């Protein structure tokens, strides 16, 4: 990590050259810094939402207007190509955003916006295949509510919540490890597969919630110490955006199953 980004994480009080601001001024500055992080996050979500809606509606129209097997085949090929390209792009931009931030020489805005756009393509394909905007709207409302609760806990909590972050990381890696055996369970123990799937899913879901609380609490601490600059704010907003999208996709699977049973 570069010296510049290392300074971003330093404590404001540890620098003797900094003079203390009045408490009210510190609170206003910290509040503005936190609002800026959530503002950047909202922009990333907006980029994804606009592309999701545009692509979803466009593909729905294309599917509904198709009349021949050749047209349906073209639609299928287009969907597969978009999934492959966007999947590779998401992986690449994830790595690039980390490298750009660690080097500290350039802004993470470009890879972050590209990631948000690619995620919009993925969700647009999902929206077209589901073809039920009510389900997507309900999922978004639930995700926003869950994320809002996690944000309040992180902002109102006292201390660093390091233990909560470690629990989240532990659950995440544990779920990733046991998910490696899902194929074996599906082949040799099909009756247990559904339970195994839900255990892994809820472990991942809980991990993201704990890590979201920890991330927001960490943002509050950095803002209070005057350690948030524009690039760091954008990077932290990108991390929160990724947490939000992951929650959205997990909740979407649950909502689809519920509506599927009713229908």
The pLDDT tens digits for 51-99 are: 999 999 999 888 888 778 888 888 888 889 999 999 999 999 988 888 8
Residue 8 lies in a domain: no
Range of the domain at 245: 24-262
Residue 107's CB is within 10 A of a number of other CB atoms, namely: 13
Query: With bands split at pLDDT 50, 70 and 90, how would you rate the model's confidence at 223?
Result: confident
pLDDT tens track for 35-53: 889 999 999 999 999 999 9
Which residues are within 8 A (CB) of 187 and not within 5 positions of it... i.e. 6 or more apart?
A: none
Residue 126 lies in a domain: yes
Residue 17 lies in a domain: no
Query: With bands split at pLDDT 50, 70 and 90, how would you rate the model's confidence at 2?
Result: very low
Residue 198 lies in a domain: yes
Residue 122 lies in a domain: yes
Residue 180 lies in a domain: yes
Residue 143 lies in a domain: yes
Domain count of the chain?
1
Q: Which pLDDT score is estimated for 161?
A: 67
Residue 44 lies in a domain: yes
Q: Which pLDDT score is estimated for 47?
A: 96
pTM score of the predicted model: 0.78
Q: For residues 62 and 79, what is the distance between their CA atoms, to the nearest angstrom? A: 12
């Amino acid at each position: 990590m570069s010296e510049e980004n290392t300074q971003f994480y330093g404590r404001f009080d540890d620098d003797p050259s900094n003079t203390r601001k009045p408490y009210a001024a510190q609170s206003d500055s910290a509040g503005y810094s936190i609002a800026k992080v959530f503002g950047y996050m909202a922009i990333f979500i907006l980029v994804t939402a606009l592309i999701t809606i545009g692509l979803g509606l466009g593909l729905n129209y294309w599917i509904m207007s198709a009349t021949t097997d050749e047209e349906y085949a073209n639609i299928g090929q287009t969907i597969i190509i978009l999934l492959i390209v966007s999947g590779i792009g998401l992986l690449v931009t994830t790595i690039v955003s980390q490298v750009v931030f660690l080097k500290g020489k350039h802004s993470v805005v470009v890879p972050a916006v590209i990631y948000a756009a690619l995620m919009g393509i993925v969700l647009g394909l999902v929206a077209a295949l589901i073809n039920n905007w009510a389900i997507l709207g309900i999922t978004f409302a639930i995700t926003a509510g869950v994320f809002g609760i996690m944000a309040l806990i992180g902002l109102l909590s006292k201390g660093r919540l390091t233990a909560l972050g470690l629990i989240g990381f532990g659950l995440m890696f544990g779920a990733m490890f046991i998910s490696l055996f899902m194929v074996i369970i599906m082949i040799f123990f099909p009756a247990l597969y559904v339970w195994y799937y839900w255990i892994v899913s809820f472990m991942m879901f809980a991990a993201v919630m704990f890590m979201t609380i920890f991330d927001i609490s960490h943002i509050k601490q950095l803002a209070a110490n005057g350690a948030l600059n524009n690039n760091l704010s954008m990077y932290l907003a990108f991390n929160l955006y990724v947490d939000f999208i992951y929650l959205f996709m997990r909740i979407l699977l649950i909502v689809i199953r519920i509506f599927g049973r009713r229908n």
